Amino acid sequence: MTAVPAPIAVALDAPDIETAARWATLVTPHVSTVKVGLELYMRYGPDAVASVRGASRVQVFLDLKLHDIPATVAAAARAVARLRPAYLTVHAAGGPAMIRAAVEAAPSTRIAAVTVLTSLGDADLGAIGLAGPASDAVRRLAALAVGAGAQALVCSPREAAAVRGEVGPDITLITPGVRPTGAANQDQARVATPEAALEAGADLLVIGRPITGAPDPGAAAAAIAAALRRSYADAS
Ligand code: C5P
């Protein structure tokens, strides 16, 4: 019997399309989703999506973090909706009209709003005129995005419980910054284990280098998926 794929989006941050496609083939038996980011999309465009999907039914998460005037974002969202991504990211800071424009332009795709980039600290936020602690800005932007029709939000696992409290049960919470116990943090400052991220209310865990940087990405994905299944079994 094949196990249900784990709620993991593997970040295919590869230098070239062949590597991304190889990683996708290795991990798709174990995970629900693969994530195509700016680097790959800027270089290869729609071919990147076709290559990582291959012949599989894996969901594609198109992480383009759109941020422009509503008409431009609507046109961009419409252009990529043809590729049938399950998720497309926009910046919540683009405002409600921009978010709604994306939602309406891509009705079969879940628009995921990025609240505050985890690379920004409180001092950086002050410098760009967003007063108050980052956690307040995250909650404010989460509520704004959901009010404008976003069906998903990207936030740090450390913020997931507060965001869940703000937006209720129906919004998909997507969390990067996930590190299995013992894995290196690399440049992620605020990390949580996969089990802790799900416990905090995350629905989809973005994991890149702990899987793609492993000697065998398929085995690494399978191991994390199995650990998550064990933690569900323990919790029930
Ligand atoms: O390799 P790693 O697990 O750190 O990859 C995380 C992925 O999530 C990267 O593709 C990164 O761009 C993305 N991401 C992030 N933090 C955010 C939003 C997206 O790390 N706030």
Kindly report, residue by residue over 162-214, the tens digit of the pLDDT.
999 999 999 999 999 999 988 888 877 778 899 999 999 999 999 999 999 99
Shortest-distance Cα residue to atom 14 of ligand 1: 176
The atom number, within ligand 1, closest to the CA of 156 reads: 21
Mean pLDDT of the chain: 94
Structure confidence by residue, pLDDT tens digits, 45-84: 999 999 999 988 899 999 999 999 999 999 999 999 999 9
Whether 116 has a pLDDT exceeding 60, the answer reads: yes
Q: Is 120 in the pocket of ligand 1 (CB under 6 A)?
A: no
Q: Using CB atoms within 10 Å of the CB of residue 81, give its burial: 0 to 12 exposed, 13 to 18 middle, 19+ buried.
A: middle
Whether 230 has a pLDDT exceeding 50, the answer reads: yes
The pLDDT assigned to 141 comes to 96
Spatial CA neighbour of 40 closest among 4, 75, 78, 13:
13
Lowest mean pLDDT among 53-57, 139-143, 225-229, 231-235: 231-235
Spatial CA neighbour of 195 closest among 208, 185, 207:
207
Helix (H) or strand (E) holding 10: strand 6-11
- The pTM score is 0.94
C-alpha 207 to ligand 1 mean position (Å): 7
The pLDDT assigned to 2 comes to 59
Lowest mean pLDDT among 1-15, 105-119, 164-178: 1-15
C-alpha 236 to ligand 1 mean position (Å): 30
The pLDDT assigned to 236 comes to 64
C-alpha 171 to ligand 1 mean position (Å): 20
The pLDDT assigned to 197 comes to 95
Whether 114 has a pLDDT exceeding 80, the answer reads: yes
The dihedrals phi and psi of 56, each to the nearest 5 degrees, come to -90, 170
The pLDDT assigned to 140 comes to 95
- Helices within the chain (DSSP H only): 17-27, 38-44, 46-53, 70-81, 96-105, 122-127, 134-147, 160-167, 194-199, 209-212, 217-235
C-alpha 206 to ligand 1 mean position (Å): 7
Shortest-distance Cα residue to atom 10 of ligand 1: 11
Position 48: which residue type?
A
Q: Measured between alpha carbons, how far is 117 from 119 in angstroms, rounded to an integer?
A: 5
Q: Using CB atoms within 10 Å of the CB of residue 78, give its burial: 0 to 12 exposed, 13 to 18 middle, 19+ buried.
A: middle
- Residue from 60, 206, 211, 212 to probe ligand 1 pocket by mutation (most atoms less than 8 Å from CB): 206
